Structure 1
């Protein structure tokens, strides 16, 4: 039997803003009247780009999935970098943004990369002088003369 392993999530989420109490009540009213997309547009101004990312990383507000409880409503508009989570029961509103950390480059180990021992010109000169000896001198490397 083959067990499928889950891949690491390609997208993570950072918290942009979390409002509760009176501030959240105003937005919950907006959601009731105008819908959740309107609330997302109103909360977008809390997103300050890299500053928001840094604050979320420092404070640990980075998630593998949109955090939501059993009483929460979660809206992820198609094509939008934002997700809105809100709860009428507990009186809060949260805006999150997709965060894709930059992949760190995977460099090959330095012992794998060997510098050329001979210049292309010296290989060509050796080949022109004696084609059969030049091939054996390159220790199995393929030499092409143009």
Structure 2
């Protein structure tokens, strides 16, 4: 078995940085508008994908899109991230109702620790901007 893929950003988030990351997306009008645009695009993509019932949110970051993913009442969400701290922050930052719908999974976006065909859709909203 090969070593897991690690990029520069793979290990950069400690608990303090994770908390700042969550707050960053709520800071200021421009960031809130950008988030609303991301939500619009996400809803459109989920609709085009047929409103999948089991969604893997990878990387889930601070759970910023969990409330959106939970809008469909029977959708199950797997919130996955390489960072254990990021997953813990996501679970603490979101409402109890939303977190109840999320199964947390620590895994790499480059080597997903799930069997083939185990989800209907992979929701990958903010990974590529890190890779650049």
Q: TM-score, normalised on structure 2?
A: 0.30
Q: Which has the higher strand share?
A: 1
The structure whose Rg is larger is 1
